Amino acid sequence: MEMKHEDGRFYLEDNDDMIGEITYSTVKDGVISLDHTYVNDSYRGQGLAGKLLNAALDYADLKSLKIVPVCEYAKAAFERKPEIRFLLTENYQKLLKGEN
């Protein structure tokens, strides 16, 4: 199983079959949105969505990008893990704290 990256997505392949991906897009300079996370049914329950998310988070951190979580998986991860919230756009950080 190998993690790969191309513009707009990180994905996992197993024997040349795409088994999972997380897609992202540019919102504006310095900001990306995490749009969709997918893992093939037969590979679920192995933590692959988390690995995909971590790859996207590492990429954002490395490139000094902020994140807008659009997909439900990414939203839930940011709600559960305060330690990764530094990557959120400022407006989204306020939303999570219940500020306007």
Is residue 20 within 8 A of residue 44, CB to CB? The reply is no
* Nearest alpha carbon to residue 37 among 21, 19, 26: 21
Rounded to 5°, angle at Cα 51 from 49 and 53: 70
pTM of the predicted protein model: 0.89
* Nearest alpha carbon to residue 51 among 4, 98, 99: 4
CATH homologous superfamily, domain 2-96: Gcn5-related N-acetyltransferase (GNAT) (3.40.630.30)
- Res 100 pLDDT > 70: no
Kindly report, residue by residue over 27-72, the tens digit of the pLDDT. Answer: 989 999 999 999 999 999 999 999 999 999 999 999 999 999 999 9
What CA–CA distance (Å, rounded) separates 16 from 18? 6
**pLDDT, position 90:** 83
